[in-house]
Amino acid sequence: MMLLSTRGLSKHFAGLQAVKDVDFDLPQGQVRALIGPNGAGKSTFVNMICGRIQPSSGTVIFDGRDVTMMPAHKRITLGMAYTFQITSVFARLPAGENVALAARRRLHDKSQVEKATHKALGQVGLLDRMDQEAGDLSYGHQRLLEIAMGLVQRPRLLILDEPTQGLSDNEITDFKTLIRALAGETTILLIEHNMSVVMQVADQVTVLNFGAVLAEGSPDEIHANRAVQAAYLGGDDA
């Protein structure tokens, strides 16, 4: 069953065609990586999926419902979660409160919120930073906090926009383990530049180039695909 589909999804900004006519299908439970050179339209594409940007044309179907006209916050309540590419935590609030805010939308009992907050912070290894102000965390830790805020919502579709940017090698290893542990239970759409992450965690990969789908397939197929190599990997593979 498809959890997420787009049909003919397009966006142009003042004459610039950022995303053209994308048909995209993401089955329930899959980990999908979305890759492509800078400016390929990846972020615009996921922003249309989660409702931060209105498409110029086309439809977004989530869990069998046409959500194209639905405001972002309603899509989130349907079970999407989005973590920002540019870290967007609540800098002046403690890390724990950041996660609790994300938890409170679905949980109303105080002790449940606390439990879910602890769990999510534990999953990303930030439990000991709970009382620290988010703005005081290192950049890598803020990225992990973003991920915890996504996890605690127990989304059906987790959209991660370049989650490993700025993480250390150890943190990236932990991140891969975390995503593999979530796979099957949560459907994940991952925009990622780090090819080792893509190769190891994704079930399927979609390549965008100039706003259109260039190729789609398993990580190995994509790795071997000439057109992708030409457009993106440039021979210098991971």
- Cα atoms in the Cβ-side hemisphere of radius 13 Å centred on 59: 9
Region 204-223 residues binding other proteins, contact defined as CB under 8 A? none
And the tokens for 128?
A: 């000991």
Stretch that binds other proteins, among 5-13, 71-79, 165-173, 212-220 (CB under 8 A): 71-79
With CB under 8 A as the contact rule, the residue among 21, 25, 63, 97 that binds other proteins is 97
With tokens 């922003």, the residue in question is 47
Position 92 contacts other proteins (CB under 8 A): yes
Q: Which is nearer to other proteins, 149 or 222 (CB)?
A: 149
**Under rule CB under 8 A, residue 84 binds other proteins:** yes
HSE of 107 in the Cβ direction (CA atoms, 13 Å)?
Answer: 18
Measured from the CB atom, is 74 or 180 closer to other proteins?
Answer: 74
Q: Residues touching other proteins: how many (CB under 8 A)?
A: 25
Q: Does 182 bind other proteins (CB under 8 A)?
A: no
Which of the residues 114 through 143 are near other proteins (CB under 8 A)?
Answer: none
167-174 contacts: CB < 8 A, separation 24 or more?
167/140, 167/143, 168/140, 171/125, 171/140, 171/144, 172/196, 172/197, 174/124, 174/125
Q: Can you tell me which of 104, 176, 193, 223 binds other proteins, judged by CB under 8 A?
A: 104
212-217/204-209 β-pairing: antiparallel
- By CB under 8 A, is residue 90 in contact with other proteins? yes
Q: Does 77 bind other proteins (CB under 8 A)?
A: yes
Closer CB to other proteins, 50 or 205, in the complex: 50
| Binding residue (CB under 8 A) for other proteins from 1, 14, 15, 108 | 108
Is 62 a binding residue for other proteins by CB under 8 A? The answer is no
CA 177 to chain centre: 16
Q: Could you tell me the sign of the dihedral formed by the alpha carbons of 125, 123, 238, 209, in that order? A: negative
Which one of 5, 153, 209, 225 is in contact with other proteins (CB under 8 A)?
A: 153
Interface pick for other proteins out of 88, 168, 170, 218 (rule CB under 8 A): 88
133 Cβ neighbours under 8 A, 6+ residues apart: 91, 92, 93, 94, 95
Inter-helix orientation angle 95-104/139-151, to 10°: 20
| Residues at the site binding other proteins, with contacts judged by CB under 8 A | 50, 52, 71-74, 76-77, 82, 84, 88-93, 97, 100-102, 104-105, 108, 149, 153
